[in-house]
Amino acid sequence: MPAPAVNIQKVSHHYGSHQALRDVTFQVTPGTLYGLLGPNGSGKTTLFRILSTLMPPSEGHAQVFGLDTAREPSAVRRRIGTVFQEEALDEALTVRQNLRVQGALYGLHGAERRERAKDLLRRLDVADRATDPVADLSGGLRRRVDLARGLLHRPDLLLLDEPTSGLDPAARRTFWSAVHQLRAEEGTTLLLATHLMDEAERCDRVGILSDGALVANGAPDTLKANLGDETIWLKTDAPISLRDRIEAQFGVSTRIVGATVQVAPAAPPTFLSSLYDALSDHIRSATIRTPTLEDVFMVHAGVSPTDSREHVLAHRDTSDE
C-alpha cells in the first residue's frame, strides 16, 4: 500500500501558552480531495504551516508521502505546492515574470518552464493577461494566476488555504471548476482548508477542526447520515428547559446545539405536531430537514462554522510576543 499523501499523527502545537492544535490525527489518500472545515482560529493555518515545512509541530509527526516535514523539509517541499489566503505574487511584475521566478525556485527553466506556464495559463483562462502586471488583475484572475504558480512544478500535493476568500460567487465557481479540471488531468491530491460549507461538500472526505481538535472525520454523506435521517430542529430562547420538558413529556433523546434543540424521533412530522400542541410557548421556530454539513459541524463543534474566534486568537498572539 502506498504511503498516504498526508499523514498527521498525534500532532499538537502551541504558540507560547496558546494551544493551537490538540492531538490531531488523520490521513489523506493520494488523489483525493480532503477538506479541513473549521472557523477562523480553529487551527487550520497552523496545520498548514506545519505541512508546508514552515515550522515543526510541538508534538507528533506530520508526513507527506511518507516524508517527515520536520526532518526532511527539502524533500517535502519538492512534492508540495501551496495556494495561501493571500496570493504569493509580486504585484509589480507581470504574470509571466512571476511564473518565471517561481520556476527558478524549483529549478525549472527554458522551454520546459515556458511550455508549462503557457499550458497552465491557457487552461486557467488567463493566457491573454500573461504580459499584464499582477497589480492590474481582478481578484478572481489573481487567484487563478496564483493557482498556476502553485501548480507550475507539478506538485503531488496541493495545499489550498481558504483559496477563495474574498472572491465573489462567480469567481469562486470559476476557480473551483479550474481546480477540478486540473485535478482530473494531473491526479493531484488536494488538501483544502475552508470555513465554507459548499466547498466542504465537494470534498471526498471532511475533517472538522474545532478549537485545535479534530472532532469529526469522514465522507460528507457518512457524517450527515450519522446524524439520522430527518430530524427536528427547534429554535428557542431557553434550550435547556425545552430539552428537559421534551425529555420529561415525550421520553425521546434530544441534543442542544447553540440556541437550537435537535430532536430525532421515529416519525418527525406527527411528533412535531404533538410537540407544538404541548410546548408552543417555548418554541420560536421549528424545522424538519435531513442533516446538512452545517448541522454536522454544529453538532460536533458546538458552534456555528461562521462564528469567528479570530479576536481571541489575535489577542493571544500579541501577548505571546
Partner 1 sequence: MSALRTIGALTAREMLKFVGDRSRVLGALAQPLALWGLLGLGFQNTFRPPQGTAEASYVAFLFPGILALVLLFTAIFSTISIVEERTSGFLQAVLVAPTPRTALVFGTTLGGTLLATAQALLFLGALPLIDHAPGVAGVGMIVAVCLLTGLAFTALGFAIAWRMETTRGFHAIMNLFLLPLWFLSGALFPVEGAAPVLQVLMWGNPVSYAVSGLRHGFHGFADAPTALAGPGVCLAVTGAFAVLMTGLAVWQVRRPFFQT
Q: Which residues contribute to the site for partner 1 (CB under 8 A)?
A: 13-16, 49, 52-56, 58, 74-75, 77-78, 80, 82, 84-90, 92-93, 97, 100-107, 109, 133, 149, 320-321
Give the dihedral sign, CA 115/116/118/123: positive
Minimum distance, C-beta of residue 125 to partner 1, in the bound complex (Å) = 22
Burial class (CB in 10 A: 0-12, 13-18, 19+), 187: exposed
Nearer to partner 1 by C-beta: 130 or 252?
A: 130
Minimum distance, C-beta of residue 121 to partner 1, in the bound complex (Å) = 17
- Nearest in space to 153 (alpha carbons), one of 107, 218, 195: 107
The one-letter amino acid at 162? E
The one-letter amino acid at 179? V
Minimum distance, C-beta of residue 171 to partner 1, in the bound complex (Å) = 19
Q: Which residue(s) pair with 83 in the sheet?
A: 160
Burial class (CB in 10 A: 0-12, 13-18, 19+), 169: exposed
Nearer to partner 1 by C-beta: 58 or 292?
A: 58
Minimum distance, C-beta of residue 16 to partner 1, in the bound complex (Å) = 7
Q: Enter the C-alpha cell of residue 74.
A: 527539502
Find the DSSP H helices in 208-253: 220-225, 239-250
**Tally of CA atoms within 13 A in the half-sphere of 271 that contains its CB:** 22
Nearer to partner 1 by C-beta: 102 or 210?
A: 102
Nearer to partner 1 by C-beta: 57 or 265?
A: 57
Minimum distance, C-beta of residue 49 to partner 1, in the bound complex (Å) = 6
Nearer to partner 1 by C-beta: 58 or 304?
A: 58
Minimum distance, C-beta of residue 123 to partner 1, in the bound complex (Å) = 20
| CB distance 82 to 75 below 8 Å | no
Burial class (CB in 10 A: 0-12, 13-18, 19+), 118: middle
